[in-house]
Structure formats: C-alpha cells, structure tokens
Amino acid sequence: MKVYISATLRTFFDKTAQTEIEGKTVGEILKGLTDEYPESKKGLYDDDGKLRSFIRIFVNDEDFTDVSRHKEKLSENSEVLLLPLIAGGKPSDSIISDERQKEISIDEKGIERFNKHLMLREISVKGQKRIKAAKVVVIGAGALGSAAIQYLAAAGVGTIKVIDHDKVELGNLQSQVIHGARDVNRPKVASARDTIRNIDRSIEVIDENQQLTAENAIDLIDGFDLVLDCTDNYKARYLINDACILAGIPLVFASIYQYEGLVSVFNYKGGPCLRCLFPAPPSPGLVPTCTEGGSISPLGGIIGSIQANEALKLIIGIGEHLDGKLLTFDSLNLKSRVVNIDKDCDCPICGLNKTITEIVDFDYEDFCGLKEDETEIPVEGFTADEFAKRLEEEVPMTIIDVREPHERAILRFPGAVVIPIGQLARRQKELNPDIDTVFICKEGKRSILAINTLREAGYEGPLYNLKGGIEGMKDIIFSHEAGLL
C-alpha cells in the first residue's frame, strides 16, 4: 500500500514523504511503518500505546482513525494518508439574509469596480450585494491573513475586522505580503488596515490590536457573519473554534507548514468542528510549528486565497463548501485531495452531550496531558546568561542540539552534538552520565521533550534545558567565540 506522510510527521520517518508498506489492514500498515521506522512510534503513539489524538488516518479519503476500523481489509491499491493537525457540501443558502441583501445598493462606481463579479451568473448583482453586506472577522494578519484579507477587500466585503497583537518584523516580509518594509515595528493590524483602505476606502475596517483570550473571544466576534482562522498556534485555534460554536458563527479554518496546507469549514449548519477532527493538539515540542519549521513564501498566499474563496462562497451562497471535508495541499509534490470529516457525536462542544458550555482559558501543557504531577522530576534549566557563563568558564558539559537541519543551517551552535529526539533513546550511550548534558532547540520546548524522552529510557545522568532556546542566545557573544551567529 502507498502511504503518504504529512511534513509535520516526517522527522519521525527519516524525512520520508511517501513509502510503500506491505499490509491488508490499517493495523498491519501501522505495524509495518513502525517496524521500518522505529522512531515513528514516538510520533504516532502515546505512552499507553494509543494513537495520538491529533493524528488522523485516511484511506482513499475515508477516515479510518478509529481503532475499530484498523482490522478492516482494504482494497488493493488503496492509498493511506497520515495527517496531523497543523489544520463537501452542496450548494446552499447564503449566510447573508435576503433582507440584508436588499438593503444594499451598488452605484455606478461599484458596477465598474466589480464588473468581473457581475458578469458571473452565480454572483451577479444579488451576490455582490451580499458580499457588500457581509461582516467578516479575520484573526491573524500573518501569511494566511495577508492573502485572505486582501482578497476579501478586493471582492468588496463591507466590514472587515482584523485581530492580531503582534508587530511587523523584518522576517515577516518573506510571506506576509500585506505588510511592507515601512511597516516594520508597526502593529500588524495597522498595516492591514492601511492596505484594505488602499484597496477600497468604502470598506469599514475594524482593527483590534489585542491578543485573543477566553475572556474576549466571543465579544470580538459577536455580531459578525463569518470568522477566518488565520492564526499560527494551537491554543488560538481551539479558542476560536469554541467561540464560533458558542456564538453560532461559521468558521473557515486553515493552517500551513513548510510546503503543506489545510483548509476546512467548521460549525456550518450543524456540521463538524475542529474538535471533531482533532480532539486535542499535539504535545508542545512534539510537532514543530510553522515558526519553527518555516514555510515556502507563496504557501500562505495559496491557502489564504482558498480560505477567502470558501468565505465568499458561503457569503454568496454558491458552489460546494468544505463543510464536512478537509482540503490538503502539498505544494512541493503538487498533490491535493479532499477527505471527509465525520461529526463526532461525543464532541465535548458540538456533540450530543456537551461538556463545554463556555470558553475557558487553558494551560497548553495541561490541555495536552503533559502537566507534571508531584511525583515527576521537574526539568531543570539554565537561562541564556547562566549558560553563557558556564561556556566562558569552560565548565565540562555535553551540548545536544535537537533542532531540524534547516534550523541549524540558519543558526549554528559551536561544539554541539546533533541528535534528533527520535534517536535519543538508542543513542544514550554516547552521553557521559558523569557530566551535565544541556539540550538546546529553537525556543526551549522541544528540549524539554528530549529530556523527558531520555528519562523514560532510563538515563540517569544530569540533564538540563536551555531556557528560551537559541532565540534567547542570539544577542550574546562569548569571549571564547567570535559569536554565536
């Protein structure tokens, strides 16, 4: 059977994107995969041997994640897709009512501006009026938001609210094309607002320079027709999902990583939500984020444009939607597919027996089941200054770098030994238990996972984490080195 492995999992599969495994069932294929790629067990299964909740398994675009289906015999030449969270419908009514559409008028200038839409039978004047009447929230003005916001504005969406708490950084300009060099150090929402007004000054722009929280999530989206999730972190995604369900607002979801993207529509006419697809996010450090893993420049534009397209179809009331479906796109290998998503009757927020009735903030590690209990040994670590002092004083220690190759190519750490997290258990004999071992990664999260992995494997030597990771060391120059950069 052909098995396709999403980019976020490939670090556990020796960077393999596609392989062939002997097997007639999903269970046999998973066994074959873990036999051929031993490190993959850590990525696919938790400590109890259960498939991790942020991973889905599709066979010929049908969901086979549930263990009850792992013994079903598969047809010959089936294709299996391992899909983690990074992340159709029939023509239906618009989310904009006829009453609101009829209140909108289009003048001669509007006819000239939107003539390409007016020529389309499915849109015409009525559809363009719906677009102008629409009120849309875009959460995140980064790579995804850059494309989504500009195309919604160009299409003539009447009210656009942009929510983001970050400032524009030089590194953002590679993929966040809504911002320019002059916008560096400005709030992203201010830059996005100026761009929207430059496209169409008649659009009502609401810029919210604040972070989305459990306390403000519903208030920020209340009264709007549609929400686009253009964020880049797991916590925000679940807050947005829950807020949209409790507020009764459809959600257009998207995510990107390296060369891959996901798009779906959640909470539309009783359809599935994010928690139906991925009940919980991956454990911190287990799967790198887009910030850690990067993404090719046009990917945000491709996926963000698809988001805007889904939003406009919902607003106008045309075409097939990604409600109950998930679009996956691989820009490196030019592959795309649409897989079905089933609504989970046991979903805690949109299922039959709801247990989540209000938005509550959550601790990410506790949400992922990683909260240390009183019996666990806490992970000790050094700050950047403490670590720099130890280096200057030449204190004996082993430095282990668990970053990805592309990360090390950008920022080298002198004297570090490179060992991927998946290889730590079998390579622990390379460490000297009589001296300190310090783990480094980009932000100090994957290194904690590395330490816990070694402890589970029985290693008893002293283990330390570099707090804040390499990011915290960028401005430090050591007396015995020309510099870290």
Q: Enumerate the active-site residues.
A: 290, 441
CA pair distance 56, 54, nearest whole angstrom: 7
Return the bridge partners of 397, or none.
436
Whether residue 326 contacts residue 339, with contact meaning beta carbons closer than 8 Å, is answered with yes
Directed axis angle between helix 124-133 and helix 299-316, to 10°? Answer: 110
CA pair distance 60, 77, nearest whole angstrom: 9
The DSSP secondary structure of 149-208, one letter per residue, reads: HHHHHHHT-SEEEEE--PBP-GGGGGT-TT--GGGTTSBHHHHHHHHHHHH-TTSEEEEE
Q: What is the distance of C-alpha 257 from the center of its chain?
A: 7
CA pair distance 99, 101, nearest whole angstrom: 5
Nearest to 439 by CA among 406, 482, 470: 470
Q: What is the distance of C-alpha 211 from the center of its chain?
A: 17
Nearest to 283 by CA among 171, 373, 368, 203: 368
Residue type, position 386, single letter: E
E-state strands within 6-65:
18-20, 55-59, 62-63
Q: What is the distance of C-alpha 215 from the center of its chain?
A: 22
